[in-house]
A and B are shown apart, each in its own frame.
Chain A
Amino acid sequence: MRILVVEDEPKVASFIRRALEEESYAVDVCGDGLGGLDWAQTVNYDLIILDLMLPGLPGVEVLKRARAADVKTPVLILTARSEVDQRVKGLDAGADDYLTKPFAIEELLARARALLRRAGGAPTGVLQVEDLILNPVTREVTRNGQRLDMTTKEYALLEYLMRNAGRVLTRSMITEHVWDLDFDTFTNVIDVYISYLRNKIDKGRDRSLIQTVRGSGYMMRTDA
């Protein structure tokens, strides 16, 4: 899951980024409105966290223009003003949820999960492919009732595969959703992480869930 954070206060942006990264999301930070709009239109993000008080272009304007440019990514707005009209303007401009500063980190993460879940179409949030179960709230992964420990990147990759179970995911799609802008596309990091995942969830089992689609990428199988 890849998230864009548009926030001008560097320290606020920094701790939001660290918190999200600890939850194994890929995070990009942009400090001004115009840049944020540009990125939102260029990269296919899974979630945008947008501060409303921005230099250059106000947050509400960024949102309006992004929506006008057909960006359908869920947007969570942050506002320093608890005043109702700011939130109303934000929501009317196309935001999906809001948080007022100062906010609790756990609440930010929970709202981010909720928005990602809503976009993914799984109402309870728990992802399941056959006997493989992933719970985004507890970040627990089990197969056949057996608990599997994951690193944050492995977890992020698995979550992305499971959310898109049955679909072929190309390496560039995986890159875009699981890794951030600092990722070097010329390495075979994705193949390496896929093999780590296979070791943990498929090794020694009757059925392999992660399939390689020759020439294209990978797929989480759903057919029985």
Chain B
Amino acid sequence: MKNASIRVRLTLWYGLALALILSLFAVSLYLVMSRALREQVDASLEEAAAVAIRTLGEHRFGPFLIFEDLSQDFPEIALLDKFFQIFGPAGQVTIQSANIQSREIPLSQTAFRAALEGGVTFESVQFEKGVPIRLLSFPVRQGDQLVNILRVGTSLQSTERMLHRLLIGLYIASPVALLVSLAGGWFLAGRALRPVHVLTQTAQRIAAGDLTQRIQTPHSNDEIGQLASTFNDMIGRLEVSFRQIRQFSADASHELRTPLTITKGETELALRRPRQADDYRMVLESNLEEIDRMSRIVDELLFLSRADLGEIKLKMLPVQLDDLVREVQQQATVLGQDRHVTTVLNALEPVVVLGDDLRLRELLLNLVDNAVKYSCDGQTVTLSLQVVDQRVKLTVQDMGIGISPDEQTRIFDRFYRTDEARAHASKGSGLGLSICKWIVEVHKGTLSVHSQPKQGSVFTVFLPLSHASRPDLPQV
């Protein structure tokens, strides 16, 4: 039973219940029927006896010797499908109807004794050849004296036959009804469970890797319909995240493959024939650069995957953000020196936010580093920090290569880099802005970009304002 399918189990339980009900019904029907039939026989016997006694009483119970005379005189008796016997007061047969003829059906002791005391007796006996008969013995009294005993009898054969037929009918009909119902139950259970079967098949196809599959949901909002739509939602989310993962690993392998191609190619080329020491030095320096690039990508990847798993612990303390902005501005000035990119502070309000000092610094550095990297020689990067509507607004603005509108939505995706960005600065992992976005979001802020190609970009960070005025006093 444990291994059987729900369909089999449902059908079997249903069949068992039905078999019980059917048997109960059959037994009760049989009992009620047999009882009713017997009562009917008894009632007809009593009626016949009453008719006989009344008729006989009219003739003062004269001694009729021949039944034919009796039936001639009393045609109503002859019409009855009963037989009559009239016993004398000693229990001997005096008259009996012709349909008994010579057969002996003596008066039983019980009936005789009951008659002596004026009682009526019903008896069921087996006639010869096993024909069942029902007998009614009725005392006929005059005063206290028992004059005759009238016995009326009838064959129970037709009753028994009817009951027998009923029994056979029940024996045949019950299993047939049971079988038909089982088949119907099997069909209905299958029908009810078909969506589950479809669900299973879809799930199997999905398990085989085809996440584009969806379950055909019936338009009903029943249990199966709900299950199917829940299932579809789940697959939808799975499909999205699988696609993201696939895209992510494709991008990751591409980003790692470029430095690998360079190190492999340059090294192989250098080893093809003996070279000057300077050539080797150049190859090693270039390879070192690529190795640094790869380790940065790996570090950033590791950071992001730990961030995804929630393994990065943040120390949320009040941070004096304006100090941080000033520090980063100084670093950016150094970063831009070679290409004469200057970084200036526009508005700078004293602002305290609750956050992780290290991560906020990383956020600022990443944004400013990008701004410097994608500026053209001699341009200016502008930083500003203000309080707007009880929120901290930080902007990093450059006048550089800019981002086209359809690419603006994708730049926060991991490894996404615009063609212009690749062409402008080949270094960069494509992960910086993903990390920035993560940092802003764990600080319950927002990060957005406004940009026009060849005009420059503005990255805007909104962070919640902390009410701590003094950063040296930790508040949580």
Contact = CB atoms under 8 A, between A and B. Distances in A.
A120 interface: no
Given A11-B286, A32-B423, A101 B261 contact: yes
A217 B257 CA distance: 46
Nearest to A57: B419
Interface in A97-153: 101-106
B269 A103 contact: no
B265 A55 contact: no
B262 A15 contact: yes
Interface in A8-61: 8-12, 15-16, 18-19, 22, 31-32, 53, 55-56
Categorize the interface residue count of chain A. 20 to 34
Contacts of B273: 22
Interface string B264-275: 111011001100
A7 to B, nearest CB: 10
A171 to B, nearest CB: 32
A102 B261 contact: yes
B404 interface: no
A12 B265 CA distance: 8
B262 A9 contact: yes
A80 B265 contact: no
B266 A11 contact: yes
Contacts, number: 62
A81 B423 CA distance: 19
A55 B258 contact: no
A112 to B, nearest CB: 14
A55 B269 contact: no
A9 B258 contact: yes
A11 to B, nearest CB: 5
A91 to B, nearest CB: 20
B158 interface: no
B162 interface: no
Residue among A10, A15, A101 with most chain B CB within 10 A: A15
Contacts of A103: 261, 264-265
Interface class of chain B by DSSP = helix
A168 B54 CA distance: 153
Nearest to A10: B426
A192 B139 CA distance: 161
Interface string A74-94: 000000110100000000000
Interface in B240-288: 250, 254, 257-258, 260-262, 264-266, 268-269, 272-273, 286
B300 interface: no
A55 B422 contact: yes
Given A10-B426, A55-B422, A15 B265 contact: yes
Interface residues of B, number: 21
Interface string B101-138: 00000000000000000000000000000000000000
B160 interface: no
B258 A31 contact: no
Interface in B77-94: none
Contacts of B257: 80, 101-102
A145 to B, nearest CB: 26
A12 B423 contact: no
B262 A11 contact: yes
B239 interface: no
B420 interface: yes
Nearest to A101: B261
Contacts of A18: 269
B400 to A, nearest CB: 16
Interface string B402-444: 0000000000000000011011001000000000000000000
Contacts of B250: 81, 83
A11 B422 CA distance: 13
Nearest to B265: A15
Given A11-B266, A22-B272, A55 B261 contact: no
B275 to A, nearest CB: 11
B426 A9 contact: yes
A105 B261 contact: no
Contacts of B266: 11, 15
Contacts of A22: 269, 272-273
A206 B420 CA distance: 61
A8 B422 contact: yes
B268 A101 contact: no
Nearest to B422: A55
Contact of A16 (B254, B265, B272, B286): B265
Nearest to A33: B419
Contacts of B419: 55-56
B423 A55 contact: yes
B272 A102 contact: no
A109 B266 CA distance: 14
A18 B257 CA distance: 20
A62 to B, nearest CB: 14
Interface in A180-213: none
Contacts of A9: 258, 261-262, 426
Contact of A12 (B254, B262, B268, B422): B262
Given A22-B273, A102-B261, 5 more contacts: A9-B261, A15-B269, A19-B272, A80-B257, A83-B250
13 contacts: A9-B261, A9-B262, A12-B261, A12-B262, A18-B269, A55-B423, A80-B261, A81-B254, A101-B257, A101-B258, A102-B264, A104-B264, A104-B268
Shortest Cβ-Cβ A-B pairs, 5 listed = A55-B419, A102-B261, A101-B261, A105-B268, A102-B264
Interface of B: 250, 254, 257-258, 260-262, 264-266, 268-269, 272-273, 286, 290, 419-420, 422-423, 426
